[in-house]
Amino acid sequence: MLKGIVFALTGNILFGVGYYFAILLRPLSDMAMFGFRIVVLIPFILLAIFLFKQQHLFYDLLQKIRKKPPLVLVVFLLAFNTGVQLWLFLWAPNNGQALQVSIGYLLLPLVTVVLGKIVFKEQFTRLKWASFLFALVGVVANIGFSAEISWATFVAGFGYPLYIMLRRYFHINTLATFLVELLLCLPVALYYISQINMDAILSQNASLYYYLALFGLVNGAAFILFLGSSNLLPMNVLGLIGYAEPFIMLLISLAIGEVLSSQSYFLMFCLACSIFCLTFDSFRKST
């Protein structure tokens, strides 16, 4: 359990750090950023598969599809969700939807917890219930204060929980499956990259290639740790640990000059209490 907690926390921190690349990669458009994100992720995920000796999982996935051909539709659905989520993360900060998507990311862990309880019949300790209730109160209050909800809120809030649920339900929650998803997204990514005038972009951002390499490393490590933790933790723990990411995104937002609204202090207090209860509960069980 403790290993999964460390993986999940580190992965979420790296996802939060990745939020800043929407700034560093300017003046690329959001679709160009999405294209490069796919391209730079693939080598790092492939390298991890070889380092962890998981090549046999490609064969396992193929065998499962042969036994249950409709599973290929699930893989395409997963790939579509992956593409949308990778694009949305970079699109929102550059298109006036950062707040709406941030609210979606606050809903995401709660949705994950509920799905874990309903679909996988996961058990809750008292501290887990306390963690869930702290998070619920904070998120509901924040939504009530901001009243900023759009389609992007629901895509962000429900996309990854449904994604993890499907992968776990069909027993395909592996890096191999994730690489297949990225490869299915690759033609779209290459199309948008082909539309870029790189000379004009580099004239405004001479460090672009350096940032892209770093982007791939940070994102690759984040996804590897996230998928690893999703196999080690119940969905309720995985979901609530996800609140580490908004803290990092908050710090980055403050670093680039955004001002924290007064109602956000209550939200951050509730999320801090939620993470503390969950971490203490997990640490108590591991000792």
Asked whether residue 177 is domain-assigned, the answer is: yes
Residues 6+ apart with CB under 8 A from 73: none
Q: What is the number of structural domains in the chain? A: 1
94 DSSP 8-state letter: G
Asked whether residue 251 is domain-assigned, the answer is: no
Asked whether residue 187 is domain-assigned, the answer is: yes
Question: Minimum mean pLDDT among 73-77, 165-169, 227-231: which range?
Answer: 227-231
Mean pLDDT of 39-58: 92
Three-state secondary structure of 34-80: HHHHHHHHHHHHHHHHHHCCCCHHHHHHHHHHHHCCCHHHHHHHHHH
- Structural domain that includes position 35: 2-121+150-245
Asked whether residue 9 is domain-assigned, the answer is: yes
**Tens-place pLDDT, residues 101-150:** 877 877 888 888 888 888 888 888 888 889 889 888 988 887 777 656 77
Task: Please report the pLDDT score of residue 209 as a whole number.
Answer: 93
**Tens-place pLDDT, residues 2-26:** 677 788 888 888 887 777 787 888 8
Asked whether residue 135 is domain-assigned, the answer is: no
Cα torsion through 279, 108, 159, 211, rounded to 10: -70
Alpha helices in the chain (DSSP H): 2-18, 21-24, 30-51, 56-67, 71-91, 98-119, 126-146, 151-169, 175-194, 198-204, 208-230, 235-241, 244-255, 262-286
Rounded CA-CA distance 169/241 in Å is 21
Task: Please report the pLDDT score of residue 100 as a whole number.
Answer: 77
**Tens-place pLDDT, residues 205-248:** 999 999 999 999 998 998 899 888 888 888 877 777 777 766 66
Task: Please report the pLDDT score of residue 205 as a whole number.
Answer: 93
- pLDDT confidence tier of residue 285, bands split at 50, 70 and 90: low
Asked whether residue 268 is domain-assigned, the answer is: no
- Asked whether residue 286 carries a pLDDT value surpassing 60, the answer given is no
Asked whether residue 54 is domain-assigned, the answer is: yes
Share of the chain above pLDDT 70, in %: 89
Task: Please report the pLDDT score of residue 12 as a whole number.
Answer: 80
Asked whether residue 160 is domain-assigned, the answer is: yes
